[in-house]
Amino acid sequence: MDLGVLSFCLFAGGGITLGTASGLIPGLHANNFALLLAATAASIPGDPLLIGVAMLTAGVVHTFLDIVPMLTLGVPDAAMAISALPGHRLVLEGRGREALRLSAVGSGLAVVIALPLAVPITWAMTHSYPVIRANLWIVLSAVVCLLVVTESTPEAMVGGLLSFALAAALGWVTLNVTPNAPLAAGSMLTPLLTGLFGAPILLDAMGGGGVPPQADAKLTMGRRDLGLTAGAGSIAGAIVGYLPGISAAIASVLALPAVPNRDPDRGFIVATSGANTANTVFALFALVALGTPRTGVMVAVDETNVPLDIPVLLAAVVVGAACGTLLVVAVGDQYLQTVGQMDYTSVSLVVLAFLGVLAFAFTGWFGVLVFGVSTVIGLVPPRFDARRVHLMGVLIGPLLI
């Protein structure tokens, strides 16, 4: 084997390992590992391009596997937060194995769709960027209004508005705080998102039956709906990949109108997975075209001065996507089964404690405080029978302000 190919495989393998770890450990993100790699890059033997391969592969694999702890433990990754409750409903119906595969299909289709569209969409976005950026508040305001008016009852609408306002205020106060922590590899998103979306689900589920036995893994969503929702997620992920301050989580919100009413839970998972993975691909092209990083992984790539060799980096994306698809199936089912055999209250307490430790490690004592406040706010929507998606105000609100 050629030495260059061998080196590529070794660094890609390291990235796959890191992405698997971050994807399966609740509350952890590939951004954390990428930033750690950036901080230690000078001491790592190897071409900076290969370090970039490891970062990018880790990021892609993470977008495939972050569905697993979300379904089993209730702790979503930031970009997958809005699909947490639909995913839990499928698990409670015994369709968790299907949900895992729907997520893998959504992410896999996102890569297939994103690669041929990357060049034309990059051209279109770089030319229309000034207009879109100037009117971004209109798009986000429309998303917020759509989410509120589509609630089922007036009480839920009030709860949605209250949840959005509280989360927006919290985001406005905390998002720009620079963490003072033992590990300089995190952001305030770590305690914010795990507090808003993860901890409340764990608290509400304590004393429940946990993960019930799961049925077969057959996909019951039609091919047409699969393709449309994955495509919508991919396009949404593409759009936000070029806009400053907009994350894949907001791309997921923008993709919601394409979710079929006849199968919303499955559609949520496919669309959010597609947006999450596509955002990683298009953020790479945004870095090349605009010279500015849009995700944590791209920030790490930029800080490490990784040569932007598109063929090599796209090869890392493809390798990560292929391995991520296989790992979801190979690891996800066993993950569901193992957690299903454990006492869910004990598991929830351990995970909650671990999330607190992560908040401290990546954001210090202030992050632990933010985690606690976020958890209290995250308990609000279910008390009004409102959807948790309104809590995405933590990101949308500061952008509107």
- Ranges of the chain with pLDDT below 70: 1-3, 27, 29-32, 35, 38-42, 74-84, 181-186, 207-210, 244-250, 252-253, 261
Give the rounded percent of residues in the chain with a pLDDT score beyond 70. Answer: 87
> How far from 192 is each of 177, 198, 250, 329, 374, CA to CA, in Å?
12, 10, 15, 29, 6
pLDDT of residue 1: 45
In terms of residue numbers, what domain contains 38? Answer: 3-400
Q: What is the pLDDT of residues 128-161, one digit of tens each?
A: 878 877 887 887 888 788 878 888 799 999 999 9
| Residue that the structure tokens 């689900």 belong to | 201
pLDDT value at residue 100: 92
Please give the structure tokens belonging to residue 338. Answer: 């193992």
Total domains present in the chain:
1
pTM of this structure: 0.82
Q: Output the six-digit token pair for 346.
A: 């004990």
Residues 349-377 have pLDDT tens digits of 888 898 888 888 888 899 899 999 999 99
Q: What is the pLDDT of residue 319?
A: 94
Return the axis-axis angle of helices 154-174 and 136-149, rounded to nearest 10°.
140
Cα 288 to Cα 113, 292, 330, distances in angstroms: 19, 8, 34
